Amino acid sequence: MILHIRGRGIAGGRAGGPLLVSPVPISFLSGVDPDSGIIVEKGHPLQGVSLAGKVLAFPYGKGSTVGSYVLYALSRNGHAPAAIINAEAEAIIATGAIIGGIPMIDRIGIPLDRLKNGSVVTVNGDLGELEYEGSPQDS
């Protein structure tokens, strides 16, 4: 069964892949290697994990506005997330998703930690929708 979870579209397009959920914000400037797509922020729960080709769900971005350009560089280098889901979008991540051509949504109405890592999902930034197979796990 595929659930259609409504949110708010931030960056248009449609893309899917395995879900990668971060319980904490991500800084793309100095927190993600733009050449590899690996999270390098010391102490981050996903340190050492590649976000390339994954649907990346995290609460919100943090850090410098240069983070937008890191998202763009990830896209140009072929190491960007396939799509982004935020609890609440902010300008740094939204701008990076738009210029990098990465579909993005936020405000999906359920806590991100209820989404199961590895689930194959699709983000439709045009409709502001998450297609989720099964049902979000119980907390």
- The catalytic site residues sit at 64
Q: Name, in order, each residue with C-beta under 8 angstroms of 42's C-beta and a sequence gap of 6 or more.
A: none
Which candidate, 8, 3, 138, places its Cα nearest to that of 86? 8
DSSP, res 113: G
Which candidate, 126, 87, 121, places its Cα nearest to that of 103? 126
Torsion of CA 112, 7, 89, 53, to 10 degrees: 70
* Residue linked to tokens 């410098």: 64
